[in-house]
Amino acid sequence: MAGAAPTTAFGQAVIGPPGSGKTTYCLGMSEFLRALGRRVAVVNLDPANEGLPYECAVDVGELVGLGDVMDALQLGPNGGLLYCMEYLEANLDWLRAKLDPLRGHYFLFDCPGQVELCTHHGALRSIFSQMTQWDLRLTAVHLVDSHYCTDPAKFISVLCTSLATMLHVELPHVNLLSKMDLIEHYGKLAFNLDYYTEVLDLSYLLDHLASDPFFRHYRQLNEKLVQLIEDYSLVSFIPLNIQDKESIQQVLQAVDKANGYCFGVQEQRSLEAMMSAAMGADFHFSSTLGLQEKYLAPSEQSVEQERKRAGERKSSAGQKARTQVSDRGPLRTRTRQSRLQRPRAGVPSSPDLALHLLLQLESCSA
């Protein structure tokens, strides 16, 4: 009807690297939302996604297909996917015509798994930005395979990727550790689960990396990366097992809080429901402890134990320094103190993470 006010819509932009479980998440979340009484529309934005397990309301394959692009332009899968997203960006009127009749539905956007689309390529960010101008309030749900927690080097890489994605996509953001039921199939965790979900003191990861002869040569690089992550202090994770309803409920609560759905009137929520969203931190902590007991074998090493060991190492290092002072005089002491007491660099004023990281690496190599 002409002159009618547009209806605000809500949804999730499901992103993450290939194999992290985005399509499975869309299937499980759509079934869970329908059980709650919400009308759900799943939108496939991945032109390489075939054999979809869910009922697709809108499929970008109707506009452009990856196979056709690769054959016509002689592109590989990566270049072809980037071209498809740029083509969608240039034809957003087609997407809006598909979405407008679905106003009143809760949207789930199944996005491509190309990492560069979420870290530095502009097509996907431009699409999300245009959707917000259509009064579509989105939360970026970033899935990461939980087994990366078993490898300190991979976990630091995941933290850097998650941080770059958060800064680039420019949407309310929820990071998930997916496939929690398989987390220890590839190795044991060095710390309790909350160490990884809350991204606690990362210096303990550096101690674990130092035990590896290969990464020992890159300790300064890893220190710079860890410092960068801690300077921004934005990344945290929610553990997810898509087959566990309580786990899905915890994720949905965080997503609804991020995009403002829980404060709307679509489901005639009571004041008690709003207060439950405000109390989500305590629930998240207790839920993480429950998942720790449910999916992880009893850990022989805790963060407190590691902190005690780190204190013993520092005490031993201090004793060694005092011995060196007695042997070589106070000059070495002043050099050591100046290095330890050097103030940390502040948070970069520029949002360009890549530029700041380059400067950090240059200072490291110098």
Can you give the pLDDT of all 366 residues of the chain as single tens digits?
Answer: 444 445 889 999 999 999 899 999 999 999 999 999 999 999 999 999 888 999 999 999 999 999 999 999 999 999 999 999 999 999 999 999 999 999 999 999 999 999 999 999 999 999 999 999 999 999 999 999 998 998 888 999 999 999 999 999 999 999 999 998 888 787 788 888 888 899 888 888 888 887 777 777 888 888 999 999 999 889 999 999 999 999 999 999 999 999 988 876 555 443 445 445 554 544 555 566 666 666 666 655 555 555 565 565 556 555 554 554 444 444 333 333 333 333 344 444 444 555 555 566 566 555
Axis-axis angle for helices 203-210, 219-232 (nearest 10):
160
Q: Is residue 204 within 8 Å of residue 191, measured between CB atoms? A: yes
Token pair in block for residue 28 = 């499980």
Cα 219 to the chain's mean position, in Å?
24
Q: What HEC string does the chain produce?
A: CCCCCCCCEEEEEEECCCCCCHHHHHHHHHHHHHHCCCCEEEEECCCCCCCCCCCEEEEHHHCCCHHHHHHHHCCCHHHHHHHHHHHHHHCHHHHHHHHHHHCCCEEEEECCCCHHHHHCCCHHHHHHHHHHHCCEEEEEEEEEEHHHHHCHHHHHHHHHHHHHHHHHHCCCEEEEEECHHHCCCCCCCCCCHHHHHCCCCCHHHHHHHHCCHHHHCCHHHHHHHHHHHHHHCCCCCEECCCCCHHHHHHHHHHHHHHHCHHHCCCCCCCHHHHHHHHCHHHHHHHHHHHHHHHHCCCCCCCHHHHHHHHHHHHHHHHHHHHHHHHHHCHHHHHHHHHHHCCCCCCCCCCCCHHHHHHHHHHHHHC
